[in-house]
Amino acid sequence: MWEYSEKVREHFFNPRNAGVLEDANAIGDVGSIKCGDALRLMLKVDPATETILDAKFQTFGCGSAIASSSALTEIIKGMTLDEALKVSNQDIADYLDGLPPEKMHCSVMGREALQAAIANYRGEQWQDDHEEGALVCKCFAVDAVLIEETIRANGLTTVEQVAHYTKAGGGCASCHEAIEEILAKVAKETCTAPTAEKKPSPAAVPPAPTSGAAAPTAPKLTSFQRMRKIEETIEAIRPMLQRDHGDIEIVEIDGKNIYVNLKGACAGCMMEAATLNGIQTKLIEALGEFVRLLPASMLGRAAA
Amino acid sequence: MSDAPIYLDNNATTACDPAVVEAMLPFFTEQFGNPSSMHSFGNKVGFALKEARARVQALLGAEHDSEIIFTSCGTESDNTAILSALKAMPERNQIITTAVEHPAVLSLCDQLEKEGYVVTRLGVDKRGRLDLDEYKAALSPRTAIVSVMWANNETGTIFPVEEMAELAHAVGAQFHTDAVQAVGKIAIDLKKTKIDMLSLSGHKLHAPKGVGVLYLKRGTRFRPLLRGGHQERGRRAGTENTASIVGLGVACELAQQYLAYENTEVKRLRDKLEAGILAAVPRCFPTGDVANRLPNTSNIAFEFVEGEAILLLLNKAGIAASSGSACTSGSLEPSHVMRAMGIPYTAAHGTTRFSLSRFNTEAEIDRVIAAVPPVIAQLRKLSPYWGESGPKAESFAPAYA
């Protein structure tokens, strides 16, 4: 059985705002019965102030899907539409005291329904832009589709590279076989040489076959230039995180390992891995070399 | 009316019979000896193993007690059987199995396929039945092993393994059956069959977890999975799990005694449960081959509701069952068995398995029949696919009949 928080269980057993909202003027439908979860979010929006006066939902899905829907309606009631658009899936998960990594997609569905409903109210088209696959890395909640796309986009050939780019496989390492399989699958499609049986040592990372942004071709920076570059890159990202009530600070730069503290809403967030992954990609682009972005809690543990 | 928890998930695992536990206890204390030892400490334990082996032999109808190899679990038995056949017949490279096997077989076959073996997975019809013509066409002189479960864990559907074993032998292939669900629920007499290997799991028949059996018909070419000491005549090295093996022996003896009960009283309760739910809940249907299945299993698909949500609400009502829903496993797809049968997604996510044992009572079944309909109604009320009294007009058609 899943380890659901008390709050998830409580919202599942006693969902708030379940049912049809008769005078809704914003409706968002997401999911499908094929995927095993679907959500209809109904809002009553005050046209004068764009405030959400009431919200109700109907959900087909598992315990966490129903609890996420319930939490979502509680969170957004009384918000203006612009405020509501800032609600992230992590906010929904946090409201429920967290969700198991396999169940984070339930909170994503909630956020998507919200976006769809607001688009519906404003007469816009909302497009579902995310595709998700089977969960591969359970430590950092990374799915197969993300791994495959990252491998393809960056011409990755080793498990270590995948861990650098996506975090997948960077924790307990039990998913390395699955990552190797995805690597082999992509390699086969792109007709590149099959990956070697043995894991190449970190020192001997083969050059990426495509001219991806990550190819280590940039001129070598001095230590000082490199440090400044890292700082600049992080600084440029901070406003984005601050918008989501989070923040980041650099704690230590040790070779290719850059240790940071995620703060505010980012701290302890289960999407931390995705956040770090995004920032790491930007750093790799800026520096023209592989670096690893790690939470400061790992400081001293990874000597590699 | 009592509100003690009701356990209807016996295809997942069973409670140890108290008599099994009692028989095991001395083997944790004074009977700690290694059966391989020459002294009296080991000797007594050796006799206990011999007795247990004879009891397993009796339940399976094996001709010789040396055909019983104790293992750690059903999965080990399955892996040993398939890998042994491939090693013993290197000139053959084909494996025939079914699309509805347990992962213990399917995942192994997926891996072997990647390593270059040819894997043929027989499909099933919408009631979960195999097409023997498809099977005959698949058999070839390249077939090393056929591995087909005796009964399906999700639906209870029984496969004609005895006939299939004959056909496998006709092309010189070995035949293995994963019978972890069947043993103790249907009569088995292996000496009269051409089945070469059979897997049994202790915890499915009121013995403890961590003990299983591989039946290996005398004369079947065999290569061990684990090599080491001479235990199990060198066919499964490693010091015996003595307490559990003794427990399994007792469990097998009890299973034999209760075999008739399983097929009369347990079956009657299962039928009552199924009929009661089908009568009270609209838009649901039993899956699998209902006329030819294990006496303890009922798998009901509830349309337009999701299985994990059903289980959580049932659990709150003190009822333990299981589901083929994607969400209970963390995968994105509902059960491979339901998909192989072509159960539409509108129903596959809501499949719920009730599996009984000899410990279930009539009062428990009555409570479950009363508890299920409101659970389904509550979830349908939440569902965007469900209107006042049925699926919404604009929702997903056609309905599965």
B349·A36 Cβ contact <8 A: yes
Q: Within chain B, what is the greatest distance between any pair of CA atoms?
A: 77
Rounded (5°) CA angle A161-A163-A166: 105
Give the gap in angstroms from C-alpha B64 to the nearest C-alpha of chain A.
Answer: 41
**A59-103 pLDDT tens trace:** 999 899 999 999 999 999 999 999 999 998 889 999 999 988 778
Residue of A8, A11, A22, A33 to mutate when probing chain B, most B C-beta within 10 A = A33
Contacting B residues, span 280-339, partner chain A, CB-CB under 8 Å: 304-309, 312-313, 315-316, 325-328, 330-332, 334
- CATH number of A263's domain: 3.30.300.130
- CATH number of B177's domain: 3.40.640.10
Residue A221 is predicted with a pLDDT of 79
Mean pLDDT across the stretch A216-221? 60
Mean pLDDT across the stretch A239-246? 76
Whether B231 and B126 map to the same domain: the answer is yes
Whether B198 and B56 map to the same domain: the answer is yes
Whether A197 and A256 map to the same domain: the answer is no
**Residue in chain B nearest A37 by alpha carbon:** B306
Residue B396 is predicted with a pLDDT of 34
**Is residue A298 scored above 90 in pLDDT?**
no
Whether B251 and B169 map to the same domain: the answer is yes
Q: Which residues of A fall below an 8 Å CB-CB distance to B?
A: 1, 9, 12-13, 15, 18-19, 29, 33-40, 58-66, 102-103, 132-135
Q: Which residue in the set B312, B331, B384 is minimally distant from A60, CB to CB?
A: B384
**A243-256 pLDDT tens trace:** 777 888 888 888 88
Length of chain B measured in residues: 401
| Position with higher pLDDT, B98 vs A285 | B98
**B240-266 pLDDT tens trace:** 999 999 999 999 999 999 999 999 999
Whether A101 and A59 map to the same domain: the answer is yes
Cβ-contact B164, B131 below 8 angstroms: no
**B11-55 pLDDT tens trace:** 999 999 999 999 999 999 999 999 999 898 999 999 999 999 999
Residue A17 is predicted with a pLDDT of 96
Q: Is residue B391 part of a domain?
A: no
Q: What percent of chain A has a predicted confidence (pLDDT) above 90? A: 37
Residue A195 is predicted with a pLDDT of 47
User: Roughly how many angstroms between the first and final C-alpha of chain A, as a whole number?
Assistant: 37
Residues of A designated as active site: 35, 106
Q: Can you list the pairs that A227-233 forms with residues at least 24 positions away whose Cβ atoms lie under 8 Å?
A: A227/A253, A229/A286, A229/A287, A230/A258, A230/A283, A230/A286, A230/A287, A230/A291, A232/A286, A233/A279, A233/A282, A233/A283, A233/A286, A233/A287
Whether B53 and B171 map to the same domain: the answer is yes
Whether A40 and A76 map to the same domain: the answer is yes
Backbone angle region of B232, left / alpha / beta, with phi > 0 → left and psi within -120 to 50 → alpha = left
Between CA B173 and CA B166 the distance in angstroms is 10
Between CA B398 and CA B401 the distance in angstroms is 9
| Interacting residues of B101 by C-beta distance below 8 A, sequence separation 6+ | B109, B147, B148, B149, B178
Between CA B96 and CA B168 the distance in angstroms is 10
Give the gap in angstroms from C-alpha A100 to the nearest C-alpha of chain B.
Answer: 10
Whether A114 and A146 map to the same domain: the answer is no
Whether A26 and A67 map to the same domain: the answer is yes
Give the gap in angstroms from C-alpha A234 to the nearest C-alpha of chain B.
Answer: 35
Residue A131 is predicted with a pLDDT of 65
Q: Is residue A141 part of a domain?
A: yes
Q: Which residue in the set B332, B349, B383 is minimally distant from A58, CB to CB?
A: B383
Domain boundary pick from B203, B222, B255: B255
Count structural domains, chain B.
2
Q: Which residue in the set A36, A59, A135 is minimally distant from B382, CB to CB?
A: A59
- Token pair recorded at residue B206: 């009121």
B331·A36 Cβ contact <8 A: no
Domain boundary pick from A121, A145, A178: A121
Chain B partners of A102 at a C-beta cutoff of 8 Å?
330
Q: Which residue in the set A18, A103, A135 is minimally distant from B382, CB to CB?
A: A18
Chain A partners of B395 at a C-beta cutoff of 8 Å?
33
* Residues in a beta bridge with B201: B212
Whether B221 and B330 map to the same domain: the answer is no
**Residue in chain B nearest A178 by alpha carbon:** B111
A36·B316 Cβ contact <8 A: no
Q: Is residue B176 part of a domain?
A: yes
Q: Is residue B203 part of a domain?
A: yes
Whether B312 and B270 map to the same domain: the answer is yes
Between CA A248 and CA A256 the distance in angstroms is 18
| Interacting residues of B38 by C-beta distance below 8 A, sequence separation 6+ | none
Quick one: pLDDT band at residue A107, thresholds 50, 70, 90?
A: confident
Whether B48 and B186 map to the same domain: the answer is yes
A59·B384 Cβ contact <8 A: yes
B312·A12 Cβ contact <8 A: yes
Of A5, A248, A254, nearest in space to A107 by CA: A5
Chain A partners of B349 at a C-beta cutoff of 8 Å?
33, 36
B306·A35 Cβ contact <8 A: no
Residue B399 is predicted with a pLDDT of 31
Q: Is residue B215 part of a domain?
A: yes
Kindly provide the b/e burial profile for residues B269-278, where b requires at least 16 CB atoms within 10 angstroms of the residue's own CB. Answer: bbebbbebbe
Element at B174 (helix H, strand E): strand B174-178
Chain A partners of B396 at a C-beta cutoff of 8 Å?
33
Whether B318 and B364 map to the same domain: the answer is yes
Whether A243 and A161 map to the same domain: the answer is no
- Token pair recorded at residue A176: 């390395």
Burial class (CB in 10 A: 0-12, 13-18, 19+), B232: buried
Residue A271 is predicted with a pLDDT of 67
Chain A partners of B325 at a C-beta cutoff of 8 Å?
36, 62
Between CA A47 and CA A25 the distance in angstroms is 9
The radius of gyration computed from the CA coordinates of chain A, to the nearest angstrom, equals 21
Listed as ranges, residues in chain B with pLDDT below 70 are 1-2, 326-332, 393-401
The whole-model pTM stands at 0.80
Between CA B241 and CA B155 the distance in angstroms is 31
The top-scoring range by mean pLDDT among A229-238, A270-279, B311-320 is: B311-320
A36·B346 Cβ contact <8 A: no
A65·B332 Cβ contact <8 A: no
| Interacting residues of A198 by C-beta distance below 8 A, sequence separation 6+ | none
Between CA B235 and CA B227 the distance in angstroms is 7
Domain boundary pick from B185, B220, B255: B255
Residue A211 is predicted with a pLDDT of 45
Q: Within chain A, what is the greatest distance between any pair of CA atoms?
A: 65
Whether B199 and B274 map to the same domain: the answer is no
- CATH number of A152's domain: 1.10.10.1100
* Residues in a beta bridge with A253: A258
**Residue in chain B nearest A61 by alpha carbon:** B306
Cβ-contact B136, B112 below 8 angstroms: no
Q: What is the DSSP string of B69-112?
A: EEES-HHHHHHHHHHHHHHH-TT--EEEEETT--HHHHHHHHHH
Q: Is residue A77 part of a domain?
A: yes
Q: Is residue B93 part of a domain?
A: yes
Cβ-contact B178, B102 below 8 angstroms: yes
Chain A partners of B305 at a C-beta cutoff of 8 Å?
60
Local structure of A268: helix, strand or coil:
coil
- Full residue range of the structural domain in which residue B267 is found: 6-12+259-382
Whether B246 and B309 map to the same domain: the answer is no
Whether B69 and B214 map to the same domain: the answer is yes
Residue of A34, A39, A103, A109 to mutate when probing chain B, most B C-beta within 10 A = A34
Q: Which residue in the set A34, A40, A62 is minimally distant from B308, CB to CB?
A: A62
Whether A18 and A102 map to the same domain: the answer is yes
Q: Is residue B396 part of a domain?
A: no
Q: Is residue B392 part of a domain?
A: no
B332·A63 Cβ contact <8 A: no
Cβ-contact A209, A270 below 8 angstroms: no
**Residue in chain A nearest B381 by alpha carbon:** A19
Between CA B335 and CA B348 the distance in angstroms is 7
The radius of gyration computed from the CA coordinates of chain B, to the nearest angstrom, equals 22
User: Could you confirm whether B327 is annotated as catalytic?
Assistant: yes
Chain B partners of A134 at a C-beta cutoff of 8 Å?
331-332
Q: Is residue A208 part of a domain?
A: no
Residue A300 is predicted with a pLDDT of 67
Give the gap in angstroms from C-alpha A12 to the nearest C-alpha of chain B.
Answer: 8
Q: Which residue in the set B313, B334, B382 is minimally distant from A36, CB to CB?
A: B334
Whether A117 and A15 map to the same domain: the answer is yes
Between CA B238 and CA B229 the distance in angstroms is 6
- CATH number of B268's domain: 3.90.1150.10
- Full residue range of the structural domain in which residue A151 is found: 131-201
A13·B349 Cβ contact <8 A: no
Residue B333 is predicted with a pLDDT of 74
Angle between helical axes of B307-316 and A6-13 (0-180°, round to 10): 100
Between CA B105 and CA B108 the distance in angstroms is 5
- CATH number of A24's domain: 3.90.1010.10
Between CA B253 and CA B185 the distance in angstroms is 13
Kindly provide the b/e burial profile for residues A123-140, where b requires at least 16 CB atoms within 10 angstroms of the residue's own CB. Answer: eeebeeeeeeeebbbbbb
Whether B225 and B310 map to the same domain: the answer is no
Residue A268 is predicted with a pLDDT of 64
SS3 per residue for A176-205? HHHHHHHHHHHHHHCCCCCCCCCCCCHHHC
Whether A179 and A153 map to the same domain: the answer is yes
B384·A66 Cβ contact <8 A: no
Q: Which residue in the set B304, B306, B396 is minimally distant from A37, CB to CB?
A: B306
Whether A112 and A80 map to the same domain: the answer is yes
Whether A166 and A256 map to the same domain: the answer is no
- Token pair recorded at residue B363: 């009062």
- Average pLDDT of chain A to the nearest whole number: 83
Local structure of A258: helix, strand or coil:
strand
Q: Is residue B284 part of a domain?
A: yes
